Amino acid sequence: MFEKGLLKGKRILVTGGGSGLGAAMGRRFVELGAELIICGRRLELLEQTAALMRADLGGKVSVARCDIRDGAAVDVMMDALWREAPLDVLVNNAAATFIAQTEHLSFRAADAILAPTLHGAMYCTLAAGKRWIETAHKGVVLSILSTSTITGRAFTVPSAMAKSAVLAMTKSLAVEWGPKGIRTVAIAPGAFPTPGASGQLRPEGRDEGWASKNPLGRVGEHGELADLASFLISDRAGYINGEMVVLDGGSHLRSSGAEDLLQWTDAQWEKQRAARSKG
Ligand SMILES: CCCCCCCCCCC/C=C/C(=O)SCCNC(=O)CCNC(=O)[C@H](O)C(C)(C)COP(=O)(O)OP(=O)(O)OC[C@H]1O[C@@H](n2cnc3c(N)ncnc32)[C@H](O)[C@@H]1OP(=O)(O)O
Ligand SMILES: NC(=O)C1=CN([C@@H]2O[C@H](COP(=O)(O)OP(=O)(O)OC[C@H]3O[C@@H](n4cnc5c(N)ncnc54)[C@H](OP(=O)(O)O)[C@@H]3O)[C@@H](O)[C@H]2O)C=CC1
């Protein structure tokens, strides 16, 4: 689909790149000639993912253990990366969510979602942006958001809040940092099954619907997201700034994706909470 070497010479950090959509995007970036760094909290997972990519694709892939909820740790990671060479692209992909009745969320539970999804994305963007500006280096920030930024979404309220805030950051920085050579863009994926998303959002009893409720009758393919991300971070998209592209088959035009949960009984919610407390 793309010219060979579309991303050649680009050094890209994907947060949460050890699993799911982050790994799928990272893999495509390497195929297109980029140098990739993936970060996350689980070093073993990152190393496994990186080793697979290197074995399959032969490119340069390295890992950084970093909890992006910790701003100081983000700075340490960015300093280490910049000692080798500046990044060209940051992909804010790491996030967390779970379904819960909002009135049952403790403050800690709300923070467990807001901290990686909002604060983590902000810390990484600040850390990359200030280094780019100090050295007059061009950069791109791509944030992976959600259609909850358009529809809102019941029962995942902290995630919808965090994603909406990162969309506000994307639009605001397009104006503030555009003149400094930094583009900020975003993607709002619909349902793209991954073990992480399914584990958090699709407990037993909520197994159906994502494909059948979609106007196109299917969920997204990881390669489709990886292709869009590759285009948006490439120089070919050099005039796209401050935009969020929806990639959901038209699903959000029909439903936010959470309305089925309005029918859940108290017993179902109690079961959901109990499943969580058993770990
Ligand atoms: C039909 C149309 C379809 C439409 C399309 C919809 C598409 C969906 C789009 C959704 C957009 C976003 C998606 C995603 O983000 S998917 C990514 C999912 N991946 C992850 O979440 C990975 C990271 N996850 C984690 O780190 C953990 O799972 C967790 C989020 C729980 C955070 O872990 P942490 O170690 O920080 O937290 P603790 O375990 O210490 O818990 C902290 C407090 O939170 C409470 N808690 C935890 N889980 C739950 C739960 N399930 N329900 C309620 N409360 C929970 C926990 O009890 C702690 O609070 P207390 O100390 O007060 O007890
Ligand atoms: N899959 C889907 O249908 C949809 C996904 N999205 C978005 O796509 C992105 C990827 O989701 P998906 O691949 O499905 O889920 P995953 O659970 O696979 O991805 C989340 C990644 O984030 C990392 N992460 C979580 N917390 C932290 C932290 N504190 N510091 C560093 N890394 C962290 C995790 O690694 P580790 O635990 O090792 O830290 C993991 O690799 C997310 O932004 C999600 O909101 C949006 C809409 C739909």
Residue-wise pLDDT tens digits, 162-194: 999 999 999 999 999 999 999 999 999 999 999
This model of the complex carries an ipTM of 0.98
Can you give the pLDDT at residue 91? Answer: 99
Cβ 146 under 6 angstroms from ligand 2: yes
How does strand 35-40 pair with strand 11-15?
A: parallel
Number of compact structural domains in the chain: 1
Strands 89-92 and 182-189: unpaired
- The domain of 257 spans 11-277
Look at residue 5 and tell me if it is in a domain: no
Query: At residue 277, does pLDDT exceed 80?
Result: no
Q: Would you say residue 1 lies in a domain?
A: no
Q: Using the atom order of ligand 2, give the atom closest to the CA of residue 219.
A: 3
Mean pLDDT of the chain: 96
Q: Are 187 and 233 in contact (CB under 8 A)?
A: no
Ligand 1 atom closest to residue 213's alpha carbon, by position in its atom list: 1
Half-sphere exposure for 79 (CA within 13 Å, toward CB)? 6
3-state DSSP assignment of residue 79: helix
Q: Quick check: is 40 in a domain? A: yes
CATH code, 41 = 3.40.50.720
**Closest by Cα among 17, 189, 159, 147 to 98:** 159
Question: Does 149 contact ligand 2 (Cβ within 6 A)?
Answer: no
- Which residues have any ligand 1 atom within 6 Å of their CB? 95-98, 100, 106, 108-109, 112, 146, 159, 190-191, 196-197, 200-201, 209-210, 213, 251, 255, 257, 276
Amino acid of residue 269: W
Phi, psi angles (nearest 5°) of residue 141 = -115, 120
Distances (CA, A) of 82 to 11, 12, 74, 86: 10, 12, 12, 5
193 belongs to a structural domain: yes
pLDDT grade, residue 1 (50/70/90)?
Answer: confident
State the average pLDDT over residues 20-49. 98
Ligand 2 centroid – CA 38 distance (Å): 12
Q: Ligand 1 mean position to 112 CA, how many Å?
A: 7
Note every long-range contact of 199-206, with CB atoms under 8 Å and residues 24 or more positions apart, other chains counting: 200/96, 200/97, 200/98, 200/99, 201/97, 201/98, 201/99, 201/156, 203/99, 203/272, 203/275, 205/268, 206/260, 206/261
**Residue 94: inside a domain, yes or no?**
yes
Residues 115 and 112: their CA atoms lie apart, in Å, by 6
Q: Is residue 6 part of a domain?
A: no
- Domain-embedded: residue 215: yes
What's the average model confidence in pLDDT over 96-112? 97
For range 237-243, the mean pLDDT: 98
Q: How many whole angstroms from 96 Cα to the centroid of ligand 1? A: 5
Q: In 3D, which of 197, 186, 191 has the Cα closest to residue 229? A: 186
Q: Confirm or reject: Cβ of 45 under 6 Å from ligand 2.
A: yes
For 38-84, the pLDDT digits (tens) are 999 999 999 999 999 999 999 999 999 999 999 999 999 999 999 99
What is the side-by-side order of every strand in the sheet holding 182-189?
61-65, 35-40, 11-15, 89-92, 139-144, 182-189, 244-247
Question: What pLDDT was estimated at residue 133?
Answer: 98
Residue 240 clears pLDDT 70, i.e. is over it:
yes
Q: Which of 94-103, 199-208, 243-252 has the lowest mean pLDDT?
A: 199-208
pLDDT value at 256 more than 60:
yes
Q: Could you tell me the pLDDT band of residue 241, with boundaries at 50, 70 and 90?
A: very high
Q: Is residue 2 part of a domain?
A: no
- 7 with 209: CB under 8 angstroms? no
CA distance 155 to 175: 33
Q: What is the pTM of this model?
A: 0.98
Q: Which ligand is nearest to the CA of 271?
A: 1
Average pLDDT over residues 250-268: 95
Distance from the alpha carbon of residue 78 to the mean position of ligand 1, in angstroms? 26
Local confidence band at 209 (pLDDT 50, 70, 90 cut-offs): confident
Q: Report yes or no: 141 and 129 within 8 Å, Cβ to Cβ.
A: yes
- Number of Cβ atoms within 10 Å of the Cβ of 278: 5
Question: Which phi and psi angles does 140 have, rounded to 5°?
Answer: -135, 135
Ligand 2 in reach of 158 Cβ (< 6 A): no
DSSP conformation class of 219: -
